[in-house]
Chains A and B, each alone.
Chain A
Amino acid sequence: MENLIAGAEMLARWDVMMALFVGSIGGVIIGAIPGVGPAVAIAILLPATFSLDPIVGLTMLLGIYGSSMYGGAIPAVLINTPGTAVNALTSYDGYPMTKKGEAHRAVSLAYSASFFGGIFGIICLILLSPVLALIAPMFGSREIFLAALLGIILVILAHRGQIFAAGLLAMFGIFLQTVGLDAVTYTQRYTFGYSFLSSGINLIVVVLGLFALSQAFVLLTALDSSPDAKPVTGKMTAGIKELMKHKRVASVAAGFGVILGMIPGTGEFTAQFMSYTYAQKTSKNPEKFGKGSPEGLIASEAANNAVPAAAMIPLLALGIPGEALTAMMLSVFYVHNVIPGPQLFQNNIDLVYGLYFALILLNVIVMVFLLFSTNLLTKIIRVPTRFLGVMILILSFVGVYSLRNSLTDCMISAGFGVFGLILKRLNLPIVPIILGMVLGGIMEVKLRSALPRLKTPFDMIDRPITFILFAIILIVLALHIRTLVKEYRAYQPEEDHDLHDSHTR
């Protein structure tokens, strides 16, 4: 109880509240503009938050993370262009509703489902906290190593149809984090005699290049366009009543969001697809899916909004990020010398509770903001895409250069920007590189610290949690092989290829 109050006190400061407002409202706007997305915004803001208190910086970034999906639903519903990649399925049922003259219904339903998913995720996070506090200390070096290894395997396998590309990019990420001076043996690794490589390749420089600069290059090299969304009329609270009729779909979808959000490497995308498929299979009107089904819309939005809270679970409890955005947030923790993991629950539990309250508040702020400002947002999203590209390029400079005022960093980042553009245009995933860098670093450190206690390889899995994790790894691999065999045998009809244009936003 004392910790709960201490957590609430952390938020009762003008700078924290300001950060929460700026983050959550800024996140909605960023999410609503097709072509920006939370990853770009968080990457740019990351170095700026280093000078702030950990709770201030984290609430701002958390605000962007948790609210961008609310905003992303607006263009998905109104102009069939998802504001963020994870709103892809929202456009499937949202846009047909708009075409039928039900834009208001679709938007208000998307907000309500998002709010439901968001709050559901936070409640799960709060309820799981005592369990986490109990289990997290059981995670030693071996357990964290195996959990990170599982994360790498899952992030590769989650990219179905592109496993080789995802695999090579994840391995590239692991390689990148090895470049520089080895911290234990003080030997150079892949520096080719260049002094600037001795300090290694900075994660934030890579993140800014791959997410922000690449997006600027993508927008600047493509044709200019200006999304045109029509204003919406009607009461935005109507969606809440309709959501109540589909409680089952919303709860199951949010449940998928929580479970998949917790598992490293999977995240919003998988949660959204699984809940959409579930909703369709169990619906009384499955034929309406894709043609304006409220259930489809609810499944998609409730699932993706439940993920941010759940994604905080592996990050806070084990220090293992499940996807790119939490990987970026991890660096904020490190900069402030707050190391997420088992000790966080013992030493900084007030910070953990503070973040929970921040998550609840941000959902309320965003919901209230959206009830009154949807039409304002439809005007904001009309920014021409190339102009947006110019602005992202200018903003990226602040992110890269403010790190350590290094022109070399800017050059490396620009290089990764071009690499990111190539990946985006080929529709190849960027996330495996980032997770490879972060999880690769964790694996190297944890394996080294586990070594003195390992006499034989079997010692690696002689503890209950390590054994369970090892069994999960084997099951995941076996299931994947089984699915491949089944897929090979089954007949596959031609599908809509544009659906998979998921890495360009």
Chain B
Amino acid sequence: MSRVKTLQSLFKRYRRPGDIVFAWFILIVSVFLLTQLFDQTAYKNGAKMFAQPRFWPAVSLIGMTGFALFHVLGSLLSERIEGRWREVLTWIASLEYAGWFIAYAAAVPYTGYLPTTITFAVMLAFRAGYRSARALWSAVAASIVIVVLFKTVLKVNLPAGRIYEVLPDGLRQIMLTYF
């Protein structure tokens, strides 16, 4: 097959397994949001149509529903691609990592940025299949670098962990301020 492409062919894109599931999902969401238009937006008497708070939600949702409808049609009229539900399972599997992220974010204000980051990095590395001491120590080292860079040097706005309150006086102040 020639590897030289024309401009036209370079722009073309193709469907992947699971496209139709996504297409239906988006269409249902669009239609649902559109049906809520009158409940969820207000109409101001006397104001021009373009200045109505309802105007842009209406334009975007009508546009979204229209495009979603054509996207579904495109998927329906195309040849079926095998592996649709396997693909959906991969999407669902990613929820696990979303859960890890939320748990990490929920833990930091209590257990402190440095200890939580090290713990989560090591646990996630383990979950991702790394078992060697080198990989796990790399996770620890990388976590320390991240914490020092963002919290100690750049002083980004992150809460101090409540766990630090139990530390002895001098150390507590350092941990509360820098880690």
Listed in ascending order, the chain A residues whose CB lies under 8 Å from chain B are 47-48, 51, 92, 158-162, 164-165, 167-168, 171-172, 174-175, 178, 182, 184-185, 187-192, 213, 216-217, 220-221, 224, 273-274, 276-277, 280, 286, 289-291, 384, 386-387, 389-391, 393-398, 400-403, 405, 407, 410-411, 413-415, 417-418, 421-422, 425-428, 436, 440, 443-444, 447-448, 451, 487, 492, 494-497, 499-500, 502
Contact = CB atoms under 8 A, between A and B. Distances in A.
Given A190-B57, A440-B56, A48 B156 contact: yes
B167 interface: no
Contacts, number: 245
A495 B9 contact: yes
A390 B91 contact: no
A289 B3 CA distance: 8
B67 A426 contact: no
20 contacts: A167-B66, A168-B30, A189-B53, A192-B36, A216-B97, A217-B97, A221-B90, A276-B10, A387-B125, A387-B130, A405-B159, A407-B106, A410-B105, A414-B101, A422-B18, A426-B19, A426-B22, A427-B14, A440-B56, A497-B14
Which A-B residue pairs are the 10 nearest by beta carbons? A290-B3, A160-B11, A168-B67, A171-B64, A167-B67, A187-B42, A410-B105, A175-B60, A174-B60, A171-B63
Contact of A185 (B6, B53, B94, B98): B53
A51 B100 contact: no
A161 B67 contact: no
Given A185-B53, A220-B128, A161 B11 contact: yes
A216 B101 CA distance: 10
B128 A400 contact: no
Contacts of A184: 51, 53
Interface in B63-108: 63-64, 66-68, 70-71, 74, 87, 90-91, 93-95, 97-98, 100-102, 104-106, 108
B139 A390 contact: yes
Interface residues of B, number: 83
Contact of B68 (A168, A188, A405, A422): A168
A188 B39 CA distance: 10
B97 to A, nearest CB: 5
A500 to B, nearest CB: 5
B28 interface: no
B63 A182 contact: no
Interface string B117-141: 1001100110011100001001100
A410 B70 contact: no
A160 B14 CA distance: 10
Nearest to B62: A171
Interface string B1-28: 1111111111111111011001000100
Contact of B139 (A221, A387, A407, A495): A387
Nearest to B14: A497
Contacts of B155: 51
Contacts of B74: 164
A192 B40 contact: yes
Given A274-B7, A396-B101, A174 B146 contact: no
B57 A189 contact: yes
A397 B103 CA distance: 11
Given A168-B68, A171-B60, A414 B98 contact: yes
Contacts of B11: 158-161, 273
B171 interface: no
B90 to A, nearest CB: 6
Given A402-B158, A418-B91, A422-B22, A161 B14 contact: yes
Contact of A188 (B26, B33, B40, B87): B40
Contacts of A444: 56
Nearest to A189: B41
Contacts of B87: 425
Contacts of B139: 387, 390
A162 B91 CA distance: 21
Interface in B37-57: 40-42, 44, 47-48, 50-51, 53-54, 56-57
B156 A398 contact: yes
Contacts of B40: 188-192
B101 A190 contact: no
A192 B61 CA distance: 16
B51 A421 contact: no
A389 B94 CA distance: 12
Contacts of B41: 187, 189-190
Given A171-B64, A401-B108, A447-B50, A92 B94 contact: no
Contacts of A422: 18, 22, 91
Given A48-B150, A51-B155, A159-B13, A167 B63 contact: yes
B59 A174 contact: yes
Given A410-B106, A415-B98, 11 more contacts: A164-B74, A168-B30, A184-B53, A190-B41, A192-B36, A276-B5, A286-B4, A402-B156, A405-B109, A407-B105, A436-B60
A402 B154 CA distance: 11
B64 to A, nearest CB: 4
A125 to B, nearest CB: 26
Contacts of B5: 276-277, 290, 495-496, 499
A389 B102 contact: no
A390 B26 CA distance: 29
Contacts of A415: 98
Contacts of B142: 391, 394
